[in-house]
Structures are given as structure tokens and as C-alpha cells.
């Protein structure tokens, strides 16, 4: 059950991005592509939102996983304490879905009851004849009831299982009747109620995501545009103008009538104007099938991509936790002062951090066998700190002699024999501090540094970082 | 006066009364109602008196028979019923997402309608 919640989140996030992109591109799409394009795209998006399956195809595409994901630290997944939180979130989510579904069902039943109370069968032959003609126009073959209903101000198709065509009690002219019936029957032919039901299901499942509700509004709007386009297809400008006037008449009819129920809250003035423009637009537009397919496939696999990324984030987090739990990160060379020379990583003058794994000997240093790679990985994030402090590298060693073998005799030695200094190519000075022949600290003194001592950070030979006193 | 929701059967009777010239006799009501289905005289009489009790009808006498007149217009009653619907489901929301309507909106203002009118006027002129 908890996993289902994760699946939902993994889908809701990338799909939200797609919705935002599609909404942003709508003005461009509108100009060159048919409204049906958007209509089907929303259908596809809604279907993707409702079906929380993962698409495995995405796995090879996202390979390889980056070793460290920058957002890993911010990811609010806390494996240990998170189980209860996850249960709670899942519970709230399910509760939201149920509340949303119940509310919509109550609304539907309530409206349905009201329609039933006020609807009367149409007996007017003129209307029935016009309905038959519109059925032929739209290609609807199934039978349905046509009713006059006082509670509606606009023609509508209502009913999921058994659709009913509801007409308001207005005296339509023949031309108006033709237009409104064609419009409604195109809806019926396309089974737009099922479309709306699917979009509503997406809203129910993703009730917490405002993008999904915005998408539902856009889908409603584009459904009307697509329907208009079908009704006016290959019709002349007079017909199109008549269509606009019919809509306007219904706008007037709905005005100020507290008596009737109204629909389509989304249909503001702006939307109506857009519809008028769309209806009058006789430009032939592209279907954009190829683009549709490309975007549809991208939308389909989006959830999968995130799924995989999220998995790798979880892995990284687990690794991090593993590291934390490890008692002591690196091996401590001084703990067992061997006679073997300890490697010096990198050249003092070089800012590059030498990856311990790159045991190729190219830098002239041979790594000891007891240096295991995983432990050194732990040091990776600490790298910038050393360079920032002017200490270029860590030297872990035990015997002065082995250092002399590598670096040669020091330029100068302190009187007490505890410190050796070497001049480096960039003008800075490397200071090696010994105690009983064991290398304790190494630091680089920048030439300009007046208070070089306080600036420097040394690294003790046991690997723990210390600030120089 | 606070109007209560009229139950379905009684609403059928009210609709007959609203859509016919009143005062109307019980016999006339029965005849109109039976255009759709048969009614029993007793049931009709008790329902009519209940409607009168609740303040929807005014009774009178015409010759031997009882007559009825509506005290509430159909529009007024419809207003009450849809108001209760909106009270339950919110004025601004859609009635239900599951209809495909040609057009309708409660939220459109007079000013918006004027603008739409102007737009249509403009395209009409352009066409001529």
C-alpha cells in the first residue's frame, strides 16, 4: 500500500511538468495544430495519471546513474523513521481520494435527481426530427432519450450509463436547433462523458496536485474547442457566425437566472471569446501526429524515469547511512607504524585530488595493498576543504627517511629537528612536522600569508583532520 | 414563508397545476395526470390536501367540485430548489463535471456579455 503512494508521487511529479509544458505551449499549438491534438493529449495524460504502472523501458535509458545525486541530501526519505510517516501520508491520500469520490458522486446523484424531477419527454415533432438529422450528422447510432428540462439553461448530454439529451425550455429556431443538437451529438459520439469521467478519476487520485485540476479545466475547454471544430468543419462563414450567435443566445439565457443549474464554471468570457475565434477560424491546421506520438511516448515513460532516479537516490542515501554507521572511516596508518613507506597522494603544487582508485602508478606513487578503495571514497566530499585551506594534500607517513627518499633533503630543518620545510614551485612552502620520526602534520604555507600558521589546517597522520593550533 | 422540497409525486401534480389555467378542479388534474400513467382518486385527493396544508395550494369551490390554485409560482419554487442544491455543492462549482453542455456559466457578468455581444456585432458587420 505504501508503495502505491510512492508510485503515485513518482507519476504526479513528472506528469505535472508535462502539464505545465503543454499549457505553456498551448498558444503555439493553437496557432498551428488542430484542437483535437490537445483534446487527445489531455486524454493521454489523464490515462497516464490514473494508471500508476512503471514502465521498465526507462531503465536502460537512464543508465548510468550518477554516483552522487546532488538532491540526495534534500530528499525527505528517511528510511528508519519514515515508515510511520509514509503510512500516515498514504492514509491521508486514500482519505482524500475517498472524500473526493464521495463528493462527486453525491453531486452527480443530486443533479441526476433534480433533472429527473424536472425533465419531460419531448413530444414536439420538429425537435425529434432535428435530433434524428443531428444523429446522422454525428454518426450516432444508439438510441437515447431527449428531454426538456427547466433546470438547465443550455443543451447538455447527461448520464454515464444511459445518456440523456437535455434541452432547456427555449424556443429554438430551426438553425439554432441544428447547431446545438449537432454539438451535443458530437459529444455523444465521442463519448465525452467517459472522457470526463477519466479526467475526474485522475483528479481524484491526484487530488493533492493543483496541476491536475488545472489540467482538468484545460481538458474541458479543449473538449469544447474540439467539438466546435468538428461541427463547423467544412462549413461556410455564415454557418460559423450562426454558431457563435447561438452560443451567445445561450449565454443570455443563462444570465441572471437563479432558477437554473449551470455548468462549466471554467467558461469565462475569455473562453467564450476564444471559442468564437476558434469557430470563425477557417485556417487548415496540422494534425501533428508525429509530435503527438513523440510527446505521448515521453509522457508514458516519464513516470518510469523518475522511478528509476528515485531508486538510485534511495541507494545513495542508504550508502550514506552505511558510511555514517561505519565506526572509523579510513585505516589508521599510525595505529600500526609499519616500516613501509606510506604513499603521498598527489604533488604538493597540484590542486588536483588524486583519486585513490586510480592506482595506475602514473603519478609515481605506488599504493599499498592494505589501502582499500571503499574507505577512500569516504574522503571524496572532504576534498574541497583541503584545497581551500591551502593544504594541498594529505601525507600519511611514518618515517622521515622515506620522505627524504621521495622528496629529497629538506631545504631547511628546524633547530629542534621537528620540522622540515620544502619550497614549492608556486612559491609556497611545505612544512612537514615530525614527532619521533613519525610524520605528524603536513601543511602548505602560502607565501603571502602573514598569519600563515592560523590559516593552515593540518592533517594528523592518523587521518583525523585538525586545525593547526 | 419557508418552502420545503416537494416530493416527486406531489411535484407531478404541481407541474400539472402550474401548466394549466387555474383554478383547476380535481377531475381536470386527474385527467391531465393520467396522460402519463393511471392515478387513484383517493391518493390524488390526499396529496392535494397535503400540498394545500404546506402552503403550496389555495383551495376553492366551483359548483360541486373542489378547485386548486397555486400560491407559489413554478419559477419561485425552482429558485428555492436550485438554491438548496447550490448551498450543498457550492455556488461556484460546476453542477457536475459529468455533463457535456453546449455552453453555460453562472459566473459571467453583464459587462462580459456586452463584450461578447459587441464581438458578434462586429463579425456580423464584417460579413456584410
Among positive and negative, which fits the CA dihedral A176, A182, A184, A187? Answer: negative
Residue A302 reports pLDDT greater than 80 = no
Q: Which residues contact residue A207 at a Cβ distance below 8 angstroms, ignoring those fewer than 6 apart?
A: A96, A97, A100
The pLDDT score that the predictor gives to residue B102 is: 56
**Inter-residue contact A263 to A154 (CB < 8 Å):** yes
**What does the pLDDT look like over A247-293, one tens digit per residue?**
888 877 766 544 344 443 335 677 788 888 888 887 888 888 888 88
Binary contact (A110, B104; C-beta < 8 A): no
Segment A152-173 shows an average pLDDT of 85
Cβ-based contacts of A123 with chain B (< 8 Å): none
Tell me the shortest Cα–Cα distance from A223 to chain B, in angstroms.
9
d(CA A157, CA A191) in angstroms, rounded, equals: 10
d(CA B26, CA B57): 12
Strand order across the beta sheet in which A164-167 lies: A119-121, A145-149, A164-167, A156-158, B99-101
**A5, A90 contact by CB (below 8 A):** yes
CB contact under 8 A, B79 and A237: no
Residues of chain A with pLDDT > 70: what percent? 61
Domains of chain B: 1-93 (1.10.10.10)
In chain B, the N- to C-terminal Cα span, in Å, equals 54
Residue A246: band (very low, low, confident or very high) from pLDDT cuts 50, 70, 90:
confident
Predicted local distance difference test score (pLDDT) of residue A97? 94
Question: Regarding predicted confidence, which is higher, A195 or A372?
Answer: A195
Evaluate if residue A384 carries a pLDDT over 90. Answer: no
For residues A215-244, average pLDDT: 88
Is the Cβ–Cβ distance between A147 and A119 less than 8 Å?
Answer: yes
The pairing of beta strand A164-167 with beta strand A145-149: parallel
Indicate the pLDDT class of residue A47, thresholds 50, 70 and 90: very high
The mean pLDDT value for A181-207 works out to 91
Contact A265, A220 (CB under 8 A): no
Residue A66 has pLDDT above 50, yes or no: no
**Inter-chain CB proximity B127 and A241 less than 8 Å:** yes
Per domain, the residue ranges of chain A are 2-308, 333-467
Which pLDDT does position B90 carry in this prediction?
57
Residues A356 and A371: beta-carbon distance below 8 Å: yes
Distances (CA, A) of B111 to A44, A281, B107: 37, 25, 11
By DSSP bridging, strand A457-459 and strand A465-467 are antiparallel
The whole-number pLDDT of residue A58 equals 42
Q: What is the pLDDT of residues A83-138, one digit of tens each?
A: 688 888 889 999 999 999 998 888 888 888 888 888 888 888 999 999 999 999 99
B chain contacts of residue A117, beta-carbon cutoff 8 Å? 8, 11
Q: What CA–CA distance (Å, rounded) separates B121 from B125? A: 6
What is the reported pLDDT for B93? 45
Nearest CA in chain A to B97: A196
Mean pLDDT, chain A, integer: 71
Omega within 30 of 0 (cis) for the link into A266: no
Q: Say whether B104 and A263 touch across the interface (CB within 8 A).
A: yes
pLDDT top residue among A376 and B88: B88
Q: What is the pTM of this model?
A: 0.62
Inter-chain CB proximity B108 and A268 less than 8 Å: yes
The mean pLDDT of B27-50, rounded to a whole number, is 88
Amino acid at each position: 500500500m505504501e508503495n502505491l503512494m510512492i508510485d503515485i508521487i513518482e507519476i504526479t511529479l513528472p506528469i505535472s511538468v508535462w502539464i505545465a509544458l503543454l499549457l505553456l505551449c498551448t498558444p503555439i499549438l493553437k496557432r498551428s495544430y488542430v484542437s483535437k491534438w490537445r483534446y487527445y493529449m489531455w486524454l493521454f495524460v489523464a490515462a497516464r495519471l490514473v494508471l500508476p504502472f512503471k514502465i521498465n523501458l526507462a531503465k536502460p535509458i537512464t543508465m548510468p546513474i550518477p554516483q552522487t545525486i546532488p538532491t540526495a541530501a534534500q530528499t525527505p526519505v528517511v528510511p528508519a523513521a519514515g515508515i510511520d510517516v509514509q503510512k500516515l501520508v498514504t492514509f491521508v491520500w486514500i482519505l482524500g481520494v475517498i472524500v473526493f469520490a464521495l463528493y462527486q458522486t453525491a453531486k452527480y446523484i443530486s443533479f441526476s435527481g433534480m433533472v429527473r424531477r424536472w425533465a419531460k419527454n419531448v413530444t414536439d415533432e420538429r425537435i425529434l426530427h432535428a435530433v434524428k438529422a443531428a444523429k446522422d450528422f454525428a454518426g450516432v447510432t444508439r438510441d437515447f432519450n431527449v428531454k426538456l428540462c427547466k433546470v438547465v439553461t443550455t443543451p447538455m448530454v447527461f448520464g454515464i450509463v444511459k445518456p440523456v439529451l437535455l434541452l432547456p425550455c427555449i424556443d429554438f429556431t430551426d438553425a439554432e436547433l441544428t447547431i446545438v443538437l449537432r454539438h451535443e451529438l458530437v459529444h455523444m459520439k465521442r463519448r465525452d462523458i467517459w472522457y470526463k469521467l477519466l479526467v475526474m478519476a485522475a483528479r481524484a487520485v491526484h487530488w493533492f496536485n493543483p496541476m491536475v485540476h488545472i489540467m482538468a479545466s484545460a481538458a474541458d475547454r479543449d473538449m469544447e474547442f474540439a467539438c466546435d471544430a468538428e461541427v463547423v468543419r467544412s462549413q461556410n462563414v455564415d454557418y460559423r457566425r450562426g454558431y457563435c450567435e447561438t452560443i451567445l443566445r445561450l449565454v443570455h439565457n443563462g444570465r441572471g437566472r437563479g432558477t437554473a443549474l449551470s455548468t462549466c464554471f471554467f467558461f469565462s468570457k475569455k473562453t467564450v471569446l476564444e471559442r468564437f475565434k476558434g469557430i470563425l477560424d477557417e485556417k487548415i491546421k496540422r494534425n501533428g501526429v508525429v509530435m503527438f506520438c513523440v510527446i505521448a511516448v515521453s509522457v508514458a515513460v516519464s513516470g518510469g524515469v523518475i522511478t528509476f532516479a528515485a531508486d538510485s537516490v534511495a541507494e545513495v542515501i542508504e550508502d550514506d547511512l552505511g558510511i555514517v554507521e561505519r565506526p572509523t572511516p579510513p585505516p589508521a596508518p599510525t595505529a600500526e607504524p609499519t616500516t613501509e613507506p606510506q604513499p603521498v597522494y598527489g604533488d604538493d603544487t597540484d590542486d588536483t585530488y588524486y583519486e585513490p582508485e586510480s592506482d595506475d602508478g602514473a603519478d609515481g606513487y605506488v599504493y599499498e595493498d592494505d589501502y582499500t578503495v571503499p574507505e577512500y571514497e569516504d574522503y571524496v566530499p572532504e576534498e574541497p576543504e583541503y584545497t581551500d585551506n591551502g593544504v594541498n594534500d594529505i601525507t600519511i607517513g611514518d618515517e622521515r627517511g622515506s620522505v627524504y627518499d621521495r622528496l629529497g633533503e629538506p631545504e631547511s630543518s628546524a633547530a629542534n629537528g621537528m620540522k622540515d620545510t620544502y619550497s614549492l614551485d608556486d612559491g609556497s612552502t611545505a612544512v612537514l612536522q615530525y614527532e619521533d620520526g613519525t610524520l605528524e602534520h603536513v601543511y602548505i604555507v602560502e607565501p603571502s600569508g602573514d598569519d600563515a600558521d592560523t590559516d593552515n589546517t593540518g592533517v594528523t597522520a592518523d587521518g583525523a583532520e585538525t586545525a593547526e593550533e | 414563508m419557508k418552502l420545503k422540497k416537494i416530493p416527486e409525486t406531489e411535484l407531478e401534480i404541481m407541474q400539472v397545476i402550474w401548466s394549466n389555467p387555474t383554478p383547476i378542479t380535481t377531475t381536470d388534474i386527474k385527467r391531465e395526470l393520467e396522460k402519463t400513467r393511471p392515478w387513484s382518486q383517493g391518493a390524488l385527493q390526499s396529496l392535494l390536501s397535503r400540498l394545500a396544508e404546506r402552503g403550496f395550494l389555495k383551495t376553492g369551490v366551483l359548483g360541486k367540485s373542489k378547485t386548486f390554485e397555486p400560491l407559489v409560482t413554478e419559477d419561485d419554487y425552482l429558485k428555492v430548489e436550485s438554491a438548496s442544491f447550490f448551498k450543498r455543492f457550492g455556488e461556484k462549482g460546476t453542477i457536475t463535471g459529468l455533463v457535456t453542455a453546449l455552453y453555460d456559466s453562472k459566473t459571467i457578468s453583464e459587462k462580459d456579455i456586452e463584450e461578447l455581444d459587441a464581438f458578434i456585432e462586429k463579425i456580423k458587420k464584417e460579413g456584410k
